[in-house]
Amino acid sequence: MSTTTQIDQILAQMRTMSAQAASAPKAAEEPVANSFGDLLAESISQVNETQQHAGELKKAFELGTEDVNLAEVMVAVQKSSVSFEAMLQVRNKLVDAYKEVMNMAI
């Protein structure tokens, strides 16, 4: 295929996109049913599950279960620790944002 043909095809695509952009906008799709509160609750639930899983692995290792090794336990504990710290940072940022909004002059 020659470069002239490729350029013509690209120009045609650009014209089509330009015409679509200039036309009336399409109706927005239905918003996703997840609200901010739902997403926050789901993330807290995931952090809780991670901590419970790490606790179960620690207990199994302490009881001497053969299919649980120390490396697996340490990784699970670190994952739960990191996820909890991230959740705390998000909470702190939300509290700061709330305080800032409350202190705004109307």
Q: Which residues contact 50 (CB under 8 A, 6 or more apart)?
A: 76, 79, 80, 83
Rounded distance between C-alpha atoms, residue 81 and residue 50, angstroms:
9
- Output the pLDDT for position 80: 95
* Digit-coded pLDDT (tens) for 31-89: 556 788 888 889 999 999 999 999 999 999 999 888 999 999 999 999 999 999 999 99
Assess contact for 50 and 79: CB atoms under 8 A.
yes
SS3 103: coil
- Output the pLDDT for position 25: 60
